[in-house]
Structure 1
Amino acid sequence: MNLTAALKKYFGFDTFKGDQERIIQNLMDGNDTFVLMPTGGGKSLCYQLPSLLMEGTAIVISPLIALMKNQVDVITSMSETEGTAHYLNSSLNKAAIDQVKSDVMAGRTKLLYVAPESLTKEENVEFLRSVKISFYAIDEAHCISEWGHDFRPEYRKIRPIVNEIGKAPIIALTATATDKVRTDIKKNLGIVDAAEFKSSFNRPNLYYEVRPKTANVDKDIIKFIKQHPGKSGIIYCLSRKKVEELAEILRVNGIKAAAYHAGLDSNTRSNTQDEFLMENIDVIVATIAFGMGIDKPDVRFVIHYDIPKSLEGYYQETGRAGRDGGEGICLAFYSYKDLQKLDKFMEGKPVAEQDIGRQLLVETAAYAETSVCRRKMLLHYFGETYEKDNCGNCDNCLHPKTKIEAQEQLVIVLKTIQVIKENFRSDYVIDFIIGKPTEEILAHHHDEQELFGAGADDDEKIWNPVIRQALIAGYLRKEVENYGLLKLTAAGKKFIKAPKSFMIVKDAEFNDDYESADQEGGLSALDPVLTAMLLDLRKKVSRQLGRPPYVIFQDVSIDQMATDYPITLEELKCIQGVGEGKVKQPYAQEFVDLIKAYCEENEIERQVDMRVRTVAKKSMLKVKIIQSIDRQIALDDIAEAQGIEFEELLDEVEAIVYSGTKLDIDYFLEEVMDEDHVDDIYDYFAESETDKLSVAEEELGEDYSEDEIRLVRIKFISEMAN
C-alpha cells in the first residue's frame, strides 16, 4: 500500500501536509530523522502513520500524560482492532499495566506511549528488551536541552536507555527550537547525522500584540473576553495562586472559566480538559502545564497574563491558537517588574543555569519592548528570515511607529564590537558606548580605548534597538552557545567601510510607575462633574447625620462611582470600599438615584458589561477575623493564629469596617489602651474632615502611637459609619 492510500485509509486525508510524506518515508527507510514543525503542523502523524505500517511496536516518549490519553483515544477510534495504541505511565494501576504488556506481547499494539520516568524503570526496560521495536519517537524533544524552554533532566537519559533496550531508528520532534537547541537535541540523542526537516515557523493567521501591564489588567482581560463572546481561549499565568484568583474573577464576571495547574488532582484536570473540549467552558486559566496535550483546533485567543520565561515558551503557547487556520489572537501583558521577579527566581540555581535563564529573559524583553514587526522578530529568533517589512497582522505593523535614521549609531556599534575583539555581550557593548566605567570594563582597560563613550551624547534608549535591528538586518550575529557574544558578519564589516542609510524604530516605552491613582478602577476615566455632585451629596448626608464625610463613603469609593456609574444597589456593591453593610444604609439609595439621573440627563452610555466584579480576596481570612472578634479573642492572638503580622491584621479589620460591617473591638481597647487616649482620638475623628492617618498623627502628637490611632479609628468607623 502506498503512503497516500494508507493516509486515506487510516486518517481519511487525501494529501499530506508540508514535509509529512518525506519524513515518514525517511523513517520507514530505517533512517534517523529530526523534525522541526510548528504546533498545528501535523507532527504526530509523522510517527502515527509509520507505526501502523511497520513491523513491531513504535515507542513514543512523551512527557505529557494528557497528550498520551488524547492520542491513544484518536488511534483507538480509527482502529478496527482493540489495543492498537496504549500508554504506559504513572496513572495506570497494576491490572491496566498487565493488559498493556499482554497486548504488546501479542503483537496487537503498534504504538506505545511512554513517559520518560516510566521508560527508565528497570522492569519496563526488561520488558521492552523482549519486544520487536519498529522505531523510537521522541516527542517534545526540546525538553532534552537546557537551552529549551521546558528542560527535563530525565530526557537526558533517553539515549543510554535506548541502547539498553535495543537499536532502532529514532525520530525526534519538536515545535520550537533555536539552532542551539537543535544541535543539543541531536548530539544528546546520538543522531548527529539525522536527516533534518524544518517547516516554516510563520503562522500568518496569528495576530501578535503586547500591551503594558497596568493595575487594571484584570479589567482589560474581562473587556477583551466580552468583546469575543463564546470564543475559546487560554490565559497563561506563572503562578498557581494567580491562576486560581483570575479564574474566580472571570467566573464572578459571568465568564465560563476554569483553573488548570499541576497542583490540582488528575481527575479535576482531566474533567477540566474535557469540559473545555466539549465547550462547556470557554476560557481556561492555566500555568504552562496546560495545553500541550490539548488538540483543540479552534482556540481563538491565547493571553499571557505574565510575560513568559523564554521566546520558545511564548511561541509554543501562542501556537495553541488558531490551529485550524482561523482567527488566533495572541495577547501578552508586559511589565518590566515581572521580568525582575523572574530574574529573582533564578537566584540559588547553578551559575550556568542562571546565565542561560537570564539570556532567555533578555530575548523575551527585547520582543516585548520592540517596535519592529513582531513576526519578523520571532522568526529571526528561530533562524528564519521574514522578507516583508510589514506583516499586517501584529500591533507594531498595524500601528507603525516613526522610523529614525541610525546610520552613525550603527557605525559606532560595529566599530565598538571590532575594538573589543567580538568578545562581549550587548549589555557590555552598550556600557562601553555610553562611557560607563563598570568594574568589568575597567578590568579589561577598555576605558582607555579612544572609542570609549563615543555614544554618550545620544539617548541611552537608542542602543538596544540599534543592536537588535542590526541582528535582524544581518550586520551582526549572536553566538548563542557562547553566552550571546556579538560578532560582525561580512555585511557588518562592509557597512563600516561604506555606511548607508539605516532606519530604525525606537523601542516602545513601558512605564512601570502605574500603581498610583489607577490602582483599583481605571480612575483615568473619572467624570469630574459627577465627582463634584457626589461630593456635594456626601457633604449633605454628613451634615444630616452629624458624621464626617469620609464616614459616609471614602474618597476612593466616590472616585470609582464617578468612573463606573453604578445605578443599582447591586452595582454599588462592586465599588471598592462598599460592602453589604454600606448598601443597607438609607443614604446608599440617594447616591445611586443621583448617578442614574445624571446618566439619563447626559445620555451617558455606561459600559455596564465592562464593570469588573472583584472577588473578595482573602474572604476566608476576613470571615475568620470577624468570627474571632465576635468571640472577643485578643487581636494580637488572632494575628498569630492566622500567621500574619499585627499591621496586616489591622489592614484586614479596616477593610472590613470600611466596607460596612460593624465590629465591636471595645473588649480589646479596654485591655490595651488608656481610656482617656481612646476618648481623645475618638473626639479627634468626630471633628476631623479627613480620616488620613498621617494627618491624625500630626494633629494628635507624639503621645499617641500609630497602632492606637488605627485601633480607635476602626472603633469610630464601625460605630459611626455602619
Structure 2
Amino acid sequence: NDQVVGLKDLGVKAERVHSAMPESERTQIWKDFKNKQIKILYISPESLMRNEMLSALKLLNISMFVIDEAHCISKWGSDFRREYELLKELQNFFPEAIISAFTATADEETRADINNKLTNGKGKIFLYGFNRPNLSLAVQQKTNNWKAQLLEFLVNRKNESGIVYCLSQKLTEQCAEFLQSEEFNAHPFHAGLDSQVKIDTQDKFMTEDNIVVCATIAFGMGIDKSDVRYVVHISLPSSIEAFYQEIGRAGRDGLEADTLLIFGLQDLFQRKRFIDMSDANNSFKIKENKRLDALIAYCDSATCRRQTLLSYFKEMSEPCGKCDNCLNPPLMIEGTEYAQMVLSAIYRTGQFFGSGHIVDVLRGVYSEKVKVKGHDKIKTFGVGRTATADFWKIFIRQMVSANYLLIDIQRYGALQITQKGETVLRGEEEYFYRKIEFNTQIKEKRIRVENIDANTLDDEKDLLSALKSKRIELARKRRVPAYIIFPDATLHQMILHKPKTLEEMGKLNGVGLQKLKKYGEVFLEIIKSI
C-alpha cells in the first residue's frame, strides 16, 4: 500500500488489490484497470496465478509484468515461496508481454535460476552492484542476556525507527514486551497475529518516526520506509542472502544506518536443524548448509565486514573503515590449551552430547545429567571452571564455525570432533580464537598472532624444537595431551623472554606453581643449553 501511495504522490496512476479489501472497492479497481485508467496494478502472486485471473488478464493488452522480490522464485533464493515459482507460467500465458524481475539479494546461481524459470534462460541480466556504503555492520557474540545486549545498542535510539528480526513468533512478542518495559514504542509482528493488528502495525511503522518493530521475516517485503535507522538480528538468518535482504531495509534514504547481528551456538544448531528436518533432497540440504556456513564465516571474520559480505557476491571493495572489525580490529588469542580441554571433554564423553552438557563438564557443574552419566569422574571434569559458561559457549561456537567441531543434528546437536580438531587434540596444530568480547574470569593469554613473528620463530627454531620434543616426551610418559605440560603459547613465551631462574620462569603465562615445581628445572636447562 505504501508503494502505491508513493506512486500516486508522483502522479502515477497506480492501485493495488488484495483479499482484505471490500468487494465494491475491488470491483471498481478492476473496472478502472480494464478502462486503462490505471497504469500499474499491484497484485500478489497467489491472486495473479489463479485460473480466472489469468483468463481475465488475457483479454487485456498487458504490456509488462514486473516481479519484485524475485529471489523468492528460486529454490536457491533466501525466501523461496512456491507461489512465486508458479510465475514461470507467465511466459506461456502472455508470450508477447515483457517479463522483468528485480531483487537486491541474488547470487550468481540464484540469478541464473530466476532467468531459467521466467525466460528459459533467454533473458538479459543487469547487475547494478551490492555495496550499500551508508550501512555500518557489526556482529556480537550472544550471551545469556541478549536483552541487555539489545538495550545497550538501542539505548540512544528511542527517537529513531528500526526493525529487530527474531526467529520465532514467541521471541518477537518477548522482545516487544521487553522494549515496551524500557519505554520504547515497540510492536511485535508475525504471521500468527490478527490481520488488522498487522495492518495497524504496518501503518504505524510507515507514519511514526520513533517506532521499533520486533518481527519475523514475515515483515519487510513491500515495506518502503526510507528512514529506518537500524536493523538488528537477535537470531541468526538463514543465509548471507537473507541477511543482506533484511539489513537492506535500513538507510534507504542514503543516510547513515546501523546494523547489528547477535548470534550464538544455539542459533546455529536451530538453523542446521531446520535444514536437516526439511523435506528437501540431499543436494539442496548440502547447498543450504554451505550458504549457512558462509554466513557463519562472515560472523567470525576478523577482517572488514563489508569486504567479506561483498566478496560472497563476487564483488571487490576496499576496507570500509566503519564496521566493528575496521574500527576495533579483533585480537586473535592463542587458545590451544582451551581447545584441547573442549576436545578432550567431548572425546571422553563419547561425542554424544551437546554444548550445554560439555560446558557443565568443563566447569565442574554437578548437574543431574553429569552425575547420572558419571562425567564428574572423568579427567576433564572441572578443568575449565575458571571461565564463565558464556565464554565456553562462544569458544565452542567458534570451534564449530572454524570446522574443528561439527554439530550432529541426527544426535540432537551432539558435538563431534573433525579431522581438523583431532590435529589440535594431538598437539600437532595450534588453535587461535577471536577474542571473546565481554568480561570473563578467565585469564586469556594476550598474545597477538603477529607478535610471535615468523622471523623470531625461525631464528629460534632449534630452541622451539627442543622445547616441543621435551614436552612430547613428558606428555607420553604421563599419557596426557601436550597442553597439560605447557601450551604452545607458553613455549613461545619461553623463547621470547628466555628466563634464567625459576622465579623468572614463574612469571610467564601458563606457568603456575605446580607446573613450575614439576617442569621448571627441565625446561630451564633446555633454554640454557641452546
TM-score normalized with structure 2 length: 0.62
Q: How does 1:499-514 map to 2 (within 5 A)?
A: 508=434
Q: 1:194 to 1:220 in 2, by over 3 A?
A: same
State the partner residue of 2:308. Answer: 377
Q: How does 1:615-654 map to 2 (within 5 A)?
A: none
156, 161, 164: which one aligns with 1:235: 164
Q: How does 1:314-333 map to 2 (within 5 A)?
A: 314-333=243-262
User: Matches of 2:428 and 2:222 in 1, distance apart?
Assistant: 49
State the partner residue of 2:366. Answer: none
State the partner residue of 2:3. Answer: 71
290, 306, 322: which one aligns with 1:359: 290
Deviations, residues 331-365 of structure 1 (Å, cap 9, x unaligned): 11010221101211233322344323222211111
Q: How does 1:3-18 map to 2 (within 5 A)?
A: none
Give yes or no for contact 2:15–2:38 (8 Å, CA) kept in 1: yes
User: Matches of 2:38 and 2:127 in 1, distance apart?
Assistant: 30
- Deviation, 1:453, is 7.2
Q: How does 1:410-449 map to 2 (within 5 A)?
A: none
* 1:368 counterpart = 2:294: no
Q: 1:239 to 1:170 in 2, by over 3 A?
A: same
User: Matches of 2:90 and 2:98 in 1, distance apart?
Assistant: 14
Deviations, residues 48-103 of structure 1 (Å, cap 9, x unaligned): xxxxxxxxxxxxxxxxxxxxx122222233338xxx22223333343233222211
State the partner residue of 1:298. Answer: 227
- Deviation, 1:458, is 5.1
State the partner residue of 2:46. Answer: 117
* 1:177 counterpart = 2:106: yes
Deviations, residues 555-591 of structure 1 (Å, cap 9, x unaligned): xxxxxxxxxxxxxxxxxxxxxxxxxxxxxxxxxxxxx
* 1:310 counterpart = 2:242: no
User: Matches of 2:131 and 2:155 in 1, distance apart?
Assistant: 29
Query: When the two structures are aligned, how many residues end up with a matched partner?
Result: 360
Q: 1:507 to 1:99 in 2, by over 3 A?
A: farther
Q: 1:158 to 1:507 in 2, by over 3 A?
A: farther
User: Matches of 1:453 and 1:401 in 2, distance apart?
Assistant: 25
SS in structure 2 of the partner of residue 133 of structure 1: coil
User: Matches of 1:148 and 1:359 in 2, distance apart?
Assistant: 13
Give, as a single letter, the amino acid of the residue that structure 2 aligns with 1:508: R
- Provide the alpha-carbon RMSD of the alignment: 3.2
SS in structure 1 of the partner of residue 59 of structure 2: coil
State the partner residue of 2:354. Answer: none
User: Matches of 2:434 and 2:323 in 1, distance apart?
Assistant: 14
User: Matches of 1:459 and 1:149 in 2, distance apart?
Assistant: 37
Give yes or no for contact 2:235–2:263 (8 Å, CA) kept in 1: yes
- Deviation, 1:194, is 2.8
Give yes or no for contact 1:369–1:509 (8 Å, CA) kept in 2: no
SS in structure 1 of the partner of residue 46 of structure 2: helix
State the partner residue of 1:89. Answer: 18
TM-score normalized with structure 1 length: 0.46
Q: 1:167 to 1:509 in 2, by over 3 A?
A: farther
User: Matches of 1:266 and 1:403 in 2, distance apart?
Assistant: 49
Give yes or no for contact 1:392–1:398 (8 Å, CA) kept in 2: yes
319, 343, 355: which one aligns with 2:272: 343
User: Matches of 1:146 and 1:510 in 2, distance apart?
Assistant: 36
Deviations, residues 626-656 of structure 1 (Å, cap 9, x unaligned): xxxxxxxxxxxxxxxxxxxxxxxxxxxxxxx
* 1:401 counterpart = 2:330: yes
State the partner residue of 1:194. Answer: 123
State the partner residue of 2:36. Answer: 107
Deviations, residues 209-261 of structure 1 (Å, cap 9, x unaligned): 11111112101212321222311111100101000011011111111111111
User: Matches of 2:17 and 2:178 in 1, distance apart?
Assistant: 38
Give yes or no for contact 2:69–2:221 (8 Å, CA) kept in 1: no
Give yes or no for contact 1:234–1:303 (8 Å, CA) kept in 2: yes
- Deviation, 1:399, is 1.1
User: Matches of 2:176 and 2:424 in 1, distance apart?
Assistant: 51
Give yes or no for contact 1:369–1:507 (8 Å, CA) kept in 2: no
- Deviation, 1:402, is 5.6
Q: 1:323 to 1:507 in 2, by over 3 A?
A: farther
Identity level (%): 38
State the partner residue of 1:714. Answer: none
Q: 1:512 to 1:194 in 2, by over 3 A?
A: farther
138, 144, 149: which one aligns with 2:67: 138
* 1:252 counterpart = 2:184: no
Give yes or no for contact 1:335–1:510 (8 Å, CA) kept in 2: no
Q: 1:457 to 1:391 in 2, by over 3 A?
A: farther
After the TM superposition, which segments of 4 or more aligned residues of structure 1 sit over 6 Å from their partners?
452-456, 511-514
Q: How does 1:455-534 map to 2 (within 5 A)?
A: 459=429, 461=431, 508=434
Deviations, residues 390-424 of structure 1 (Å, cap 9, x unaligned): 321111111113689xxxxxxxxxxxxxxxxxxxx
Give, as a single letter, the amino acid of the residue that structure 2 aligns with 1:138: I
SS in structure 1 of the partner of residue 125 of structure 2: strand
Q: 1:402 to 1:259 in 2, by over 3 A?
A: closer
Q: 1:456 to 1:265 in 2, by over 3 A?
A: same
Unaligned stretches of 5+ residues in structure 2: 334-398, 407-421, 442-530
Q: 1:311 to 1:155 in 2, by over 3 A?
A: same
User: Matches of 1:205 and 1:334 in 2, distance apart?
Assistant: 23
User: Which of 369-378 and 279-288 deviates more?
Assistant: 279-288
Q: 1:169 to 1:188 in 2, by over 3 A?
A: same
- Deviation, 1:113, is 1.5
- Deviation, 1:454, is 12
User: Matches of 2:439 and 2:122 in 1, distance apart?
Assistant: 52
User: Matches of 2:113 and 2:211 in 1, distance apart?
Assistant: 38
Give yes or no for contact 1:234–1:283 (8 Å, CA) kept in 2: yes
* 1:287 counterpart = 2:213: no
Give yes or no for contact 2:166–2:215 (8 Å, CA) kept in 1: yes
User: Matches of 1:251 and 1:338 in 2, distance apart?
Assistant: 25
User: Matches of 1:112 and 1:162 in 2, distance apart?
Assistant: 19
User: Matches of 1:266 and 1:260 in 2, distance apart?
Assistant: 10
- Deviation, 1:301, is 1.1
- Deviation, 1:369, is 1.1
Q: 1:346 to 1:143 in 2, by over 3 A?
A: same
User: Matches of 1:308 and 1:330 in 2, distance apart?
Assistant: 13
Unaligned stretches of 5+ residues in structure 1: 1-68, 405-426, 437-451, 462-505, 517-722
Deviations, residues 687-712 of structure 1 (Å, cap 9, x unaligned): xxxxxxxxxxxxxxxxxxxxxxxxxx
Q: How does 1:573-722 map to 2 (within 5 A)?
A: none
Give yes or no for contact 2:332–2:433 (8 Å, CA) kept in 1: no
Deviations, residues 490-523 of structure 1 (Å, cap 9, x unaligned): xxxxxxxxxxxxxxxx663569999x9xxxxxxx
Give yes or no for contact 1:259–1:285 (8 Å, CA) kept in 2: yes
Q: 1:159 to 1:457 in 2, by over 3 A?
A: same
User: Matches of 1:160 and 1:295 in 2, distance apart?
Assistant: 28
